[in-house]
Amino acid sequence: MSAPAVKVVGVSAYERPTKMRMPFRFGVTTATHARQAIVEARIRLADGREGSGYAAEALGAKWFDKNLALTDAQNHHQLRKSLEMATATYCAASPSTAFGLFADGYEHQMAICEKLGLNPLIASYGPALLDRAVLDALCRLEGVSFYAAMRANLAGIAPHRIAPELAGFDFGRFLCGLSPASAIDVRHTVGLVDPITRADQKERIGDGLPETLEEVISAYGNNYFKLKVGGDAEADIERLEKIAAVLDQRSEPYFVTLDGNEQYDDAESTAAFLEHARARPKLSRLFASTLYIEQPIRRSAAMARPVGALAAFAPVIIDESDGELSSFPRARELGYAGVSSKNCKGFYKSILNRARCAVWNNETPGRYFMSAEDLTTEPGLSVQQDLALVNLLGLTHVERNAHHFIDGFGGRPEAEARAHLAAHPDLYAERGGRVRMKIEDGRLAIGSLDCAGFASAVPPFLEAAEPMPKSGWEVLYDRGL
């Protein structure tokens, strides 16, 4: 199957709000509400066939840009502007492969967003949505799944100047060798204000879902956990000891990752915290079970100096510092061993980074890796596309948190939730009268994602969404915000 030329003939963008069932504290913010962007892209093939595809992603305030001088609404305007810029570029582009649309427009998107004061993570947001929607449309027109499309390289992924270190790389052979699984382990996020035991709660939510870490383990059987740390050494150690007291009750092995969310100034201060924490007897098993450390250093300093002092404790990965396609190679030179995959940063970026790992591990076997992290990917299209991507990449566990902080499909139409339950009965179940993700023995069954389209047999119910408002970022930027 050759990669067809694709022309983007139209893009429509929508939004919908979500109320979270419990607050989620990470980095510099505590989220109680969320918004999701939904994109519909219409494409035309050379034979005249036209079709639509879809993508959905959180409008994540205070992750892409953690400037506390900006409101959440202003963060949303930043992301809308990224999508507007990408839409203009993709719609103006001549017919190209799906990958070519991304690769040929990448430098322009980065440059135009930089002129608007938008950082590379924000600049990547718009193309990330459009690339998934375009591929979804292409898969639907050809009647193939995301996995089949990738194995056949339907997107036309090829060496390109945007990733010069992959010149001559055989993407066809690489993609054909990827082997998705039928299930994946869920790594549960423990936010900075999440209750660990019932004693931590002043009042209950009482919606039938687990509320404390103890209850999460009892209900879902998780074996993997992502623990947030906040940059206050003593408070972090005290909290980690409370978490360890729960996890250490397990007779079977458990695994954790530590997420700094940019709360430390440099590798040395982070290493000092880790040295202090690791010496605590109550944390011995937890640190022995730590797989890697995620982005502890603020992004303005994370790529300034080597991180050897940190890497002595555990492999270190970049997340927020992965703004540009050149970020992972630069991070590697400083001692970082891995990089996160997040659909909000672009699925082509993830595939290129996975290819880099393959090349580098030929030289140093097992040294470089990718992790699967979450940006509150809600049930339905958003979480399914992200699950399919990390599964394609061969990752065996993935951070998931929307099922914990949002009750099922949130405020979306019941008919949409029921449609997903019918189409993906391995991934969802009716519990307590609501359609919710089905985590059993700490795992999600995801075989049904191997369906025509990009991992979802159900298009989003757009009649229940609002048209995305025009971004006000240019006005805000001109005012010096």
Q: How far apart are CA 454 and CA 475, in angstroms?
A: 36
| Tens-digit pLDDT profile for residues 202-246 | 999 999 999 999 999 999 999 999 999 999 999 999 999 999 999
pLDDT, position 95: 99
Residue 481 has pLDDT above 60, yes or no: no
pLDDT, position 44: 99
Q: What is the DSSP string of 297-329?
A: B-HHHHTTS--HHHHTTS-EEESTT--STTHHH
Residue 269 has pLDDT above 60, yes or no: yes
Q: How far apart are CA 479 and CA 300, in angstroms?
A: 24
CA 238, chain centre distance (Å): 29
pLDDT, position 32: 83
Residue 62 has pLDDT above 70, yes or no: yes
Whole-Å CA distances, 141 to 38, 285, 461:
20, 51, 20
The percentage of residues in the chain with a pLDDT greater than 90, rounded to a whole number, is 93
pLDDT, position 237: 97
Domain 183-466: which topology? Answer: TIM Barrel (3.20.20)
Indicate the pLDDT class of residue 19, thresholds 50, 70 and 90: confident
Domain 6-143: what homologous superfamily?
A: Enolase-like, N-terminal domain (3.30.390.10)
Average pLDDT over residues 358-387: 97
| Tens-digit pLDDT profile for residues 147-206 | 999 999 999 999 999 999 999 999 999 999 999 999 999 999 999 999 999 999 999 999
Q: How far apart are CA 384 and CA 377, in angstroms?
A: 9
Average pLDDT, whole number, for the chain?
96
Helix (H) or strand (E) holding 390: helix 381-392
Residue 408 has pLDDT above 60, yes or no: yes
Q: Where are the domains positioned within the chain?
A: 6-143, 183-466
189 pairs with which residues across the strands? 226
CA atoms within 13 A on the CB side of 174: 19
Burial 279-313 (b: 16+ CB within 10 A, else e): eeeebebbbebbbbbbbbbbbeebbeeebebbbeb
| Tens-digit pLDDT profile for residues 110-141 | 999 999 999 999 999 999 999 999 999 999 99
What are the backbone angles phi and psi of residue 132, rounded to the nearest 5°? -70, -40
Q: Residue 462: which residues within 8 A CB-CB, separation 6 or more?
A: 12, 14, 38, 40
Residue 474 has pLDDT above 90, yes or no: no
Indicate the pLDDT class of residue 23, thresholds 50, 70 and 90: confident
Q: Based on the number of CB atoms within 10 Å of its own CB, is 106 exposed (0-12), middle (13-18) or buried (19 or more)?
A: buried
Query: Which pairs from 414-417 meet CB under 8 Å and 24+ separation?
Result: 415/461, 416/380, 416/458, 416/460, 416/461, 416/464, 417/379, 417/380
Average pLDDT over residues 255-267: 94
Average pLDDT over residues 55-71: 94
The percentage of residues in the chain with a pLDDT greater than 70, rounded to a whole number, is 98
Residue 22 has pLDDT above 90, yes or no: no
pLDDT, position 24: 86
Q: How far apart are CA 407 and CA 300, in angstroms?
A: 35
6-143 and 183-466 agree in CATH topology = no
Count the neighbouring beta carbons within 10 Å of the beta carbon of residue 62: 19
Q: In terms of Cα–Cα distance, which of 390, 396, 299 is closest to 342?
A: 390
